[in-house]
Amino acid sequence: MKYMLILIGEEGDEGDQSDTTPEELTESIDRWSQYGKDLVDSGVFVASEALQESPTAKTVHVGAGEDRLVTDGPFAETKEQVGGFYVIDCANIEEALEWAKKVPLSAGSIEVRPVMDYSQFGYEDPAEAHAAT
């Protein structure tokens, strides 16, 4: 089953290198690189990306019918924002939690959430269908 590890933290924690020495930055990058390599080597890696900070975001609000309204940013009432994610394919939630505990996040939290699987209802993933052709 696929699980998403949603990395949540105070904005700027991982991206602000103003007080960081080049050596500390290299050590941090090495920890993240090793984590990614460990996921790939174990066979659970599906995808991952880091996200730019929230001021770069736009939100599409869905109203009744066809109404769509685009606004700037997520405007969450919190200092913490989603900073990135991993999608991993594990046997169960316990395995996914073990991988979440190894994420080299310096502060914040990691939400572990199962990915919906609609294949039992006849849904075909367009990316998988395209790859099969």
CATH topology of domain 2-132: Alpha-Beta Plaits (3.30.70)
pTM value?
Answer: 0.82
Note the pLDDT of residue 76.
Answer: 64
Note the pLDDT of residue 129.
Answer: 76
Note the pLDDT of residue 86.
Answer: 97
pLDDT in tens, the chain (133 residues): 999 999 999 886 554 556 788 999 999 999 999 999 999 999 999 999 999 988 899 989 898 888 899 988 876 667 788 999 999 999 999 999 999 999 999 889 999 999 998 888 888 888 777 788 7
Cβ-based neighbour number of residue 88 at 10 Å: 24
DSSP track, the chain: -EEEEEEEEETTTTT--TT--HHHHHHHHHHHHHHHHHHHHHT-EEEEEE---GGG-EEEEE-STT-EEEEES---SSSEEEEEEEEEE-SSHHHHHHHHHT---SSSEEEEEEPP--GGGT---HHHHHHH-
At 41, list the tokens.
Answer: 């080597």
Distances (CA, A) of 90 to 51, 52, 57, 80: 23, 27, 30, 27
Note the pLDDT of residue 79.
Answer: 77
Note the pLDDT of residue 18.
Answer: 63
